[in-house]
Amino acid sequence: MKVMKKDQEAGLGDINFNSIIEQPPSLHVVTVPNYVGCYCLGGKNGFCIAFEKKPNWFHRTMMKMCLGWEWKDKK
């Protein structure tokens, strides 16, 4: 394999492109988090964001009063 002058200047002259090591695909297990509730905007069919930890009462109250987001516990 002929190495070009530009490759040598870029530091690519020592790379052997024919020796690529391939590894078998690995298995990744994804677990679903345990949600305790969610903030909803727009009612039952609106936009909801789920949380793993329930916010304190002050945070829930301010979200409702200031932004209109309503907290709903998971049933």
C-alpha pair distances (Å), 34 with each of 1, 50, 52, 63, 74: 55, 10, 6, 22, 10
CB-based burial, 18-35: b 16+ in 10 Å, e otherwise: eeeeeeeeeeeeeeeeee
> So what's the pLDDT on residue 18?
61
Tens-level pLDDT at each residue, the chain (75 residues): 455 555 555 555 555 556 566 777 788 888 888 999 999 998 778 899 999 999 999 999 999 999 999 999 987
What pTM did the predictor assign?
Answer: 0.56
Domain borders along the chain are 31-58
Helix ranges (DSSP H) in the chain:
5-10, 57-62
How far apart are the C-alpha atoms of 30 and 44, rounded to whole Å? Answer: 28
